[in-house]
């Protein structure tokens, strides 16, 4: 199980870098260079965040990406949900299919409790707090 996917990781790293710019726009090239991120993935990720109304996107010589939402209002869970869907540590799969014992599994019930605590803690973490 991957807790944080590659796209989520790249998105968080890009947003943290951008939060340190104090409102200045940043280009894909700048973010990729500073964050050591591949431009090809990063462009798609930033466009997706813009499509979700988290970032603005401006073309041209002075263009780039900027925040539509305040970094203090963007939670890690918001970003995770965009790229991974709902956060669920109990995604029990066997050979790519849902486990037939999901409804009666006592371990799954315990993990669901742990999952809710993890999500509550992640909800407290914002891009601003990660940017320092």
pLDDT bin (cut points 50, 70, 90) of residue 1 is low
- Contact criterion met (CB below 8 Å) for 68 and 56: yes
Using one digit for the tens of pLDDT, what is the confidence trace for 11-63? 999 999 999 998 899 999 999 999 999 999 999 999 999 999 999 999 988 78
Domain ranges of the chain: 6-131
d(CA 22, CA 95): 47
Q: CA-CA distance, 58 to 64, in Å (whole number)? A: 5
Ordered alpha helix ranges (H), the chain: 6-19, 28-35, 39-51, 76-84, 106-122, 127-131
Residue 122 in tokens: 């992640």
What CATH code is assigned to 6-131? 1.10.10.10
pTM (predicted TM-score): 0.88
Q: How far apart are the first and last CA of the chain?
A: 29
**pLDDT band for position 131 (cuts 50, 70, 90):** very high
* Residues 11, 14, 17, 22, CA torsion sign: negative
């Amino acid at each position: 199980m991957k807790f944080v996917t590659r796209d989520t990781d790249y998105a968080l790293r890009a947003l943290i870098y951008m939060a340190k710019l104090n409102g200045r726009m940043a280009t894909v090239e700048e973010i990729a260079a500073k964050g050591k991120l591949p431009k090809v993935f990063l462009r798609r990720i930033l466009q997706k965040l813009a499509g979700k109304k988290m970032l603005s996107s401006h073309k041209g010589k002075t263009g780039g990406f900027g925040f539509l939402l305040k970094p203090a209002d963007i939670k890690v869970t918001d970003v995770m949900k965009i790229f991974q869907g709902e956060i669920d540590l109990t995604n029990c799969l066997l050979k790519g299919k849902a486990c037939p014992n999901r409804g009666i599994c006592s371990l799954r019930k315990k993990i669901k409790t742990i999952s809710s605590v993890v999500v509550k803690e992640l909800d407290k973490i914002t891009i601003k707090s990660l940017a320092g």
